[in-house]
Structure formats: C-alpha cells, structure tokens
C-alpha cells in the first residue's frame, strides 16, 4: 500500500511540475540526483519515456554531476533518445555562462573498448542540447613526463590528474614540450592499430611514485628526457551521437574527455552549434583519440560558431560524405553503384543529384527517380538507382561519382579555434563552404580541402572560401599528399593511407578538378609551408600576409589561377 501511495505521489508531482513550467520536467522529479555519486541512468530513461508519452518539450537538469554506472561499456549506453521531436535537454550555468551540469560515465575499465555512447539521439527532429559537460571516470587518456630512457624503452612519471591503470596500450600517443605544453613538431608516436603490439603495453613500475614503463626501443629513439607524452587507452567508439536529427542545435556544451569520437552527426539536415568546446582539463593534455566532431552525410545548412577544439588525435571537424563507383549499367536509366569503402550505408533520397566525373573537368549530373540499397556477399552497400534522365554514353562502369544526397547546401565555420591537434583542424569534402575568423594554432596536419578517393570520402569540393583566418606553426606533417597550413588536394584512389609507409603520391592531373577555391585576407606565421594547392580550377589567393613562412605558396596542376596582393615578411 505504501509503495502504491508513493507511486501516486510521484506521478502527481511530475504532473504538477509539467503544468507549472509549461511542458517542462525536471530530472530530479524522476529520482535523478546530481551529487556525483547516485546513478541516474534509470532517472534519465524514465524522464525521456515520460516526455515521449506526454509531449514534454524540455528536460531540465540541475547543477552538479549526474553519474551513470556502466558495467559493460561495449553494450550499455547511458542516455538514449529515439523518435522524439522538438525535445530539449538543458543544464545549468554559472554567472559567467559556463555549463555546470556534468554527465559522468563511470565504467569498468577495458583496454581499447569499442564504447557505446553517453548520449545517443536518433530520428529526433528539432533536438536541442544546452549547458552540458561530458566526462568519463576514469578518463580514457593519460599523460606523463619522461624521467629515464635507455636503448630498450622509457620510464615515465604520470602527471597528477591523469589515470594510472594497469594493462593499457600506447594508443594515439603524442609528444609535448614540457615548458610550453605545446605539441612538438614531430609525427605522432603511435596511431591506432599499430599500438596493439606487446612493445606498446604500458606497465606500472612503481604505483606509489606513479611511474610506468614502456619497453619500446622504437619510442625510446623518438623522445628526450623531460618530454611530456600523452596517450589514449583505445581509439574506438562515439561518445555523443546524433543520427537523423534534422534541425539540430547544440549550445554551450563541453567535452573534457571522450572514448573514441567526442561527437558525430550523421544523416541530419540543418545543424547549428554555438560555443561548443573540446578541451582537456588539468594536466591531461589530450581529450580523446579521435575527432572532436565528425560530420557525415549531412545535408542542409550547417553553422559551427565559436567552437574551440584543443587536444584531439585525428581531426577537429571532419565533414564529408561518401563516393560511389559504377559497377553495372542496366539499360537506359538504371545502374548499380557500390560504396566501395566503409560499411555504413546512408539513406539516399529520391530527387537528389548524383554527379558522374567522366573526366577531370567534366561532371554529368543525373536525378535519382528511385533507389534501393542491397548488401553484397562482402557486406558492402550497393545502391540500385533508376534515374529520371537517360544515362549518357560517356558514363561507363568504373566511374566515381559525387553523391549530393550526402553533402551540405552550405557549411560555415565561424570564429572557431583549433589548437594542439594531432591531425587536421578540419577536413572539408563538401561544397559551398566558408571558414571565417578562425584560428589554427600548432596543428600537425593541414586544414585539408579535397576529396579522398582512396578512403571513399567525398564529395570533391567546390565553392570554398577561407577568409580572415590566422594560421600559426601548423602543417608539419603531410596528409593525402598535401603539406602546409592549408593543403588543397584530392587524393587518388590508388594512393595508400597516410600512415602507410608505402604511401606514394600520384603526380599530375587530378582525377577531378576542385572548383572555385578562394583564400582571402588570412595571416600565416612561423610555418614551413603556408598554402599547398593542387588540382583546382579557379584558385584565388589574395591579400594574405605571410610572416616567417619558408614557402608561402606552392601551387601546381591548377587552372585559372589568380595570386596577387599578398605580403611576405
């Protein structure tokens, strides 16, 4: 009887709360306590279910830390939302506007876990996330100071604020200057799968003194006494996932630590963010082993404003879709197209456009009338497409095509900062794009513009502008055959991945020319190469300032080039 009475009181309390605040509910009314101790997984699930059933528009969070106790990180997500339109999750802020609501995942540690998400939102239009911090306990990366080295390996003292865990591997490791805490201008020490070997196993040598040992002659030959070293405990997973979330809005969100990708947005139309930050606290150095915010196969208008990204391994903002290749043509209107790289099969809508690159300077665009996706014996996605128009004779098997169903109408990156990134600050494989007022500071790879046929990532960009940005001490390692602060090049399908030591760059005319790329009024400082551009039809480089840049501009295999009014100091 008492249990029944308590249930009625809870329902009444929630009902009164929802009515009093006009379609808003509080996690606290469902048992969620932001005390840093109490598990709130059920409270969030109950609140989300109630919101779905009763048409609630806002779920309000308290100041403090909500804990999610996860036993199996590869099977359990913390918060899942599916098929709820016009829902907002809103946390608290301090008097300076910083978010004070944290979602903390506590989990049973697993080396190189393919982790489920802290937050997964799927098929939910008009979703809003505001004033929230994401974190893990233990954090999934560490940092240490080199205190001894010999021919067989190194000993390191783990910095305060970083986890000291047994049986981890040296994934996605990077080298830092101990005085400036800036990444050194060398390649990453390790990447992903290359760190699975026994020599990259980090062993605890002295628990009390927080000393670990890495028996790796390879690493010993690359570091110096006193260097700082960062590494992650794995490289898989997506921590915050937005899938098929049209009209998505993310504001004032922080990521302190992530397992795998911090965020991923896919198959969503119209995405806007403001004041989203990815930054490591204390002595942590690295946030995660993968991208800060990956954007895949999205459409509509995308705006990223006042984003701050520091300390991620791989890329800051990776924006791309996928190429398809013609496998078979059936009659006058139908063909089979293969997504030859990657297993994800994004939706292709009717009435969208597909552009067939019949030669380096000609694209024939056809309109999709109907489409069906089927997987072949190797589990690769094949798209059986019927076009409204007749297929011209110039279009033959083997041709690679741009899929405009998986690219933005427009993409704007405004007043954003990219710093100490062991990858590219951004990878742009889209059209109608603008980087304006951004800062790129001490980033390993170039800001990369160009399709990646070898990785299946498209489209080949066109109508891109980089305006009023600042590039400092960046681009010291090549990516897809491009160097410098800005690298403009579409890799060829025969080229290898960048970290493959057998990588060989194809020389000469591109598979397909990028169209209309302008670099206007930017400042480049203290770098080896400023702008490296290949394979552009309509390249404009004007009114830029180069200070202490060894090679300001390097361009070849371009058409219709305009380079003028640049200043070199």
223: number of Cβ within 10 Å = 21
- Predicted pLDDT of residue 501: 65
d(Cα 556, Cα 561) in Å, to the nearest integer? Answer: 10
- Predicted pLDDT of residue 494: 84
- Predicted pLDDT of residue 22: 60
Q: Are strands 313-320 and 293-296 parallel, antiparallel or unpaired?
A: parallel
d(Cα 101, Cα 34) in Å, to the nearest integer? Answer: 8
Residue whose C-alpha is closest to residue 118's, from 65, 159, 179, 192? 65
- Predicted pLDDT of residue 1: 47
314 secondary structure, DSSP code = E
Per-residue model confidence as pLDDT tens for the chain (569 residues): 444 444 444 444 544 444 444 699 999 999 999 999 999 999 999 999 999 999 999 999 999 999 999 999 999 999 999 999 999 999 999 999 999 999 999 999 999 999 999 999 999 999 999 999 999 999 999 999 999 999 999 999 999 999 999 989 999 999 999 999 999 999 999 998 889 889 999 999 999 999 999 999 999 999 999 999 999 999 999 999 999 999 999 999 999 999 999 999 999 999 999 999 999 998 999 999 999 999 999 999 999 999 999 999 989 999 999 999 999 999 999 999 999 888 889 999 999 999 999 999 999 999 999 999 999 999 999 999 999 999 999 999 999 999 999 999 999 999 999 999 999 999 999 999 999 999 999 999 999 999 999 889 999 999 999 999 999 999 999 998 999 999 999 998 888 766 666 778 888 899 999 999 999 999 999 999 999 999 999 999 999 999 999 999 999 999 999 999 999 99
CATH 2.160.20.10 fits 2-137+237-290, yes or no: yes
Q: Is the peptide bond before 459 cis (omega within 30 degrees of 0)?
A: yes
Rounded to the nearest 5°, which phi and psi values hold at 2? -60, -40
238: enclosing H helix or E strand: strand 236-243
Q: How far is CA 448 from the centre of its chain?
A: 14
- What string of DSSP letters covers 343-383? S------TT-EEEEEEETTEEEEEEEEEEEEEE-TT--EEE
- Predicted pLDDT of residue 340: 87
- Predicted pLDDT of residue 458: 95
d(Cα 475, Cα 42) in Å, to the nearest integer? Answer: 46
d(Cα 374, Cα 345) in Å, to the nearest integer? Answer: 9
pTM (2 decimals)? 0.94
The CATH number of 324-406 is 2.40.10
Domain ranges of the chain: 2-137+237-290, 141-232, 315-320+409-568, 324-406
């Amino acid at each position: 009887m008492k249990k029944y009475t308590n249930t009625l009181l809870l329902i009444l309390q929630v009902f009164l709360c929802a009515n009093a605040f006009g379609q808003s509910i509080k996690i606290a009314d469902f048992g969620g306590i932001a005390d840093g101790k109490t598990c709130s997984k059920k409270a969030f699930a109950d609140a989300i279910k109630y919101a779905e059933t009763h048409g609630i528009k806002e779920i309000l969070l308290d100041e403090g830390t909500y804990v999610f106790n996860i036993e199996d990180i590869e099977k359990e997500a913390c918060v899942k939302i599916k098929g709820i339109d016009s829902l907002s999750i809103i946390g608290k802020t301090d008097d300076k506007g910083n978010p004070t609501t944290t979602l903390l995942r506590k989990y049973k540690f697993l080396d190189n876990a393919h982790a489920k998400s802290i937050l997964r939102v799927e098929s939910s239009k008009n979703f809003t996330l505001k004033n929230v911090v994401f974190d893990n306990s233990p954090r999934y990366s560490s940092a240490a100071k080199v205190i001894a080295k010999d021919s067989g390996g190194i000993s390191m003292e783990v910095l305060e604020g970083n986890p000291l865990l047994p049986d981890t591997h040296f994934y996605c490791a990077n080298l830092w200057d101990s005085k400036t805490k800036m990444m050194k201008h060398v390649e990453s020490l390790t990447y992903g799968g290359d760190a699975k070997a026994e020599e990259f196993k980090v062993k605890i040598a002295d628990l009390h003194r927080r000393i670990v040992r890495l028996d790796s002659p390879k690493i010993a030959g690359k570091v110096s006494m006193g260097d700082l070293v960062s590494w992650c405990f794995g490289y898989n997973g997506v921590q915050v996932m937005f899938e098929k979330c049209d009209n998505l809005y993310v504001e004032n969100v922080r990521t302190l630590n992530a397992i795998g990708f911090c965020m991923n947005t896919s198959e969503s139309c119209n995405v806007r963010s403001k004041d989203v930050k990815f930054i490591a606290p204390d002595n942590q150095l690295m946030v995660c082993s993968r991208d800060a915010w990956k954007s895949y196969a999205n459409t509509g208008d995308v705006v990223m404003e006042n984003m701050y990204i520091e300390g991620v391994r791989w890329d800051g903002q990776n924006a791309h879709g996928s190429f398809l290749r013609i496998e078979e043509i059936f009659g006058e209107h139908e063909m089979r197209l293969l997504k030859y790289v990657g297993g994800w099969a994004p939706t292709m809508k009717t009435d969208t456009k597909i552009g067939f690159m019949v030669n380096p300077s000609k694209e024939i665009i056809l309109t999709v009338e109907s489409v069906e996706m089927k997987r072949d014996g190797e589990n690769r996605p094949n798209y059986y497409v019927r076009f409204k128009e007749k297929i011209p004779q110039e279009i033959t098997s083997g041709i690679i095509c741009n899929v405009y169903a998986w690219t933005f109408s427009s993409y704007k990156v405004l007043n954003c900062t990219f710093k100490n990134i062991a990858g590219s600050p951004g990878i742009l494989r889209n059209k109608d794009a603008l980087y304006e007022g951004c800062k790129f500071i001490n980033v390993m790879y170039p800001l990369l513009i160009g399709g990646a046929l070898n990785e299946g990532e498209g489209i080949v960009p066109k109508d891109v502008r980089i305006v009023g940005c600042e590039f400092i001490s960046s681009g010291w390692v090549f990516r897809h055959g491009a160097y410098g602060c800005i690298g403009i090049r579409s890799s060829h399908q025969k080229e290898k991945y960048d970290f493959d030591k057998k990588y060989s760059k194809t020389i000469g005319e591109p598979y397909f020319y990028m169209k209309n790329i302008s670099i206007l009024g930017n400042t480049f400082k203290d770098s080896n190469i400023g702008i490296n551009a290949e394979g552009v039809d309509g390249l404009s480089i004007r009114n830029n300032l180069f200070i202490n840049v060894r090679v300001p501009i390097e361009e070849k295999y371009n058409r219709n080039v305009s380079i003028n009014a640049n200043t070199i100091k």
